[in-house]
Amino acid sequence: MGIRQKALFNIKSIELVKENEPKRVSSYFGENTFNMETMQKYISKDTMEAFKAWLSEGRIISLEQANEIADAMKEWAISKGATYYTHWFQPMTGLTAEKTR
């Protein structure tokens, strides 16, 4: 039996569990979101304050702070069971300290 046939056979043999009452979307929507509360657990107090100032006032955050936030996102994703992670950051706003010129 080839790989394709084995895969199809395995899929066919899976027993599905029928939900009598589906979950309300509001009961789980956003539960895996790297929000402010989650971020606060993973970054330093200084970086959190700088991030809040950026958010509310548009103040520039340092490259080190931006990297700390990116590393925190990665650590958080891995703690949630992620086996693959990509953090794609495109600073198109010019609000980070590093300039590309």
Q: List per-block mean pLDDT (blocks of 10 residues) for the chain, which spans 101 residues.
A: 84 81 83 90 97 93 94 93 75 57 43
Can you tell me the distance from the alpha carbon of 92 to that of 1, in angstroms, rounded to the nearest whole number? 52
Alpha-carbon 21 to chain mean position = 29
- The residue with tokens 């949630």 is 80
* pLDDT for the residue numbered 69: 94
Q: Which of 31, 47, 29 is nearest to 39 (CA)?
A: 47
Judge if pTM exceeds 0.85.
Answer: no
Q: What is the reported pLDDT for 22?
A: 80
Residue 101, pLDDT score: 43
Phi then psi dihedrals of residue 96, to 5 deg: -100, 155
